[in-house]
């Protein structure tokens, strides 16, 4: 009997199994989309959407999809192999396997990175939120308070032993410097953050900061040109997580000084998103101000 794959004959129950595996793999993608968008639209809370639907139930669904896909590939190869069934099963395994890999990478990144959700350029002179921002956060039940000298929450001890109770300022500083690994300011999820001192006056610095925030599409909460303060909120696409960005512009002997703080409303960790957000904004403002100074 020839072992060459054939694709024209009916694959029978093996074809149905491969089709079911492919449908299951595609269903898992729909599942994750519904979990994320349902959270963003307010149908359920972020813990249920992320932890229960995505990480727990989604993880089990993907494990089942991978298992069914692998089984479908094997049975498609035995006794008069069927090419069509094999290709469907391989496609199902590719889809579910990539999704599983992405989920495992997320979990690995969570374990590897410290529980930081509040970062800024100068913890020695912290940026305090305005009453308007505090009121807005309270209105939506934001879990994370904005403090002058916050400490890692006690809830972090189970996943990040030894970090609970430590000063966020110290944890951020340690995360920014990885000896032998940080080859450039953006080499880690926590690039080094420091105040930006650039040429120009306070009015120029404020205008540059406001323009950058508007270009990014963030929702502006507060504009105070006289005080040099801007507050805005960034919202993630899928889950609708909200991070608040506070910008402070001051005159400096060398020109203008800009400090930035970014903090999440929920969760123990932001996986480095706020640090990258602050670093990107600082880099953009440096370019804008240097270009303005050059005329």
Query: What is the pLDDT, as a whole number, of residue 295?
Result: 74
What is the model's pLDDT at position 6? 60
pLDDT of amino acid 219: 97
- Paired tokens of 187: 């080499």
Task: Give pLDDT, residue 215.
Answer: 96
Give the residue-averaged pLDDT of 125-135. Answer: 97
pLDDT of residue 78: 84
pLDDT score at 2: 46
What mean pLDDT is predicted for residues 142-162?
95
The predicted pLDDT at position 14 comes to 87
Cα distance between residue 285 and residue 103, in whole Å: 34
Mean pLDDT score, 258-286 = 96
What average pLDDT score do residues 171-199 get?
78
Task: Determine the pLDDT at residue 1.
Answer: 40
Lowest mean pLDDT among 2-16, 124-138, 180-194, 215-229: 2-16
- pLDDT tens for 56-107 read 999 999 999 999 999 999 998 887 678 889 999 999 999 999 999 999 999 9
At 11, phi and psi to the nearest 5? Answer: -85, 0
Share of the chain above pLDDT 70, in %: 92
pLDDT at 190 over 60: yes
Confidence at 7, pLDDT banded by 50, 70, 90: low
Q: Is the pLDDT of residue 259 over 50?
A: yes
Give percent above pLDDT 90 in the chain.
82
Examine the pLDDT at 248 and tell me if it is beyond 90: yes
- State the pLDDT confidence band at 184, using cuts at 50, 70 and 90: low
Average pLDDT, the chain: 91
Q: Is residue 180 over pLDDT 80? A: no
């Amino acid at each position: 009997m020839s072992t060459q794959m054939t694709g024209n004959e009916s694959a029978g129950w093996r074809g149905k199994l491969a089709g079911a595996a492919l449908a299951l793999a595609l269903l898992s993608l729909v599942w994750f989309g519904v979990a994320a968008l349902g959270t963003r639209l307010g149908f359920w809370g972020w813990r249920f959407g992320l932890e229960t639907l995505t990480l727990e139930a989604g993880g089990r669904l993907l494990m089942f999809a991978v298992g069914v896909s692998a089984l479908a590939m094997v049975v498609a190869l035995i006794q008069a192999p069927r090419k069509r069934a094999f290709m469907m099963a391989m496609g199902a395994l590719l889809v579910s396997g990539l999704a599983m890999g992405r989920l495992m990478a997320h979990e690995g990144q969570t374990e590897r990175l410290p529980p930081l959700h509040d970062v800024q350029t100068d913890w020695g002179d912290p940026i305090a939120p305005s009453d308007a921002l505090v009121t807005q956060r309270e209105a939506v039940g934001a879990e994370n308070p904005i403090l002058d000298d916050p400490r890692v929450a006690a809830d972090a001890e189970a996943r990040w032993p030894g970090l609970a109770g430590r000063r966020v300022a110290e944890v951020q500083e340690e995360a920014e410097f990885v000896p032998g690994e940080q080859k450039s300011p953006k080499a880690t999820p926590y690039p080094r953050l420091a105040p930006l001192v650039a040429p120009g006056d306070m009015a120029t610095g404020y205008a540059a900061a406001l323009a950058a925030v508007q270009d990014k599409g963030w929702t502006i909460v507060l504009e105070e040109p006289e005080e040099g303060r801007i507050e805005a909120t960034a919202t993630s696409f899928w889950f609708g997580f909200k991070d608040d960005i506070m910008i402070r512009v001051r005159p400096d002997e060398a020109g203008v000084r800009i400090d930035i703080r970014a903090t999440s409303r929920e969760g123990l960790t932001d996986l480095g998103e706020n640090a990258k957000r602050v670093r990107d904004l600082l880099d953009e403002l440096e370019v804008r101000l240097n270009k303005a100074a050059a005329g």
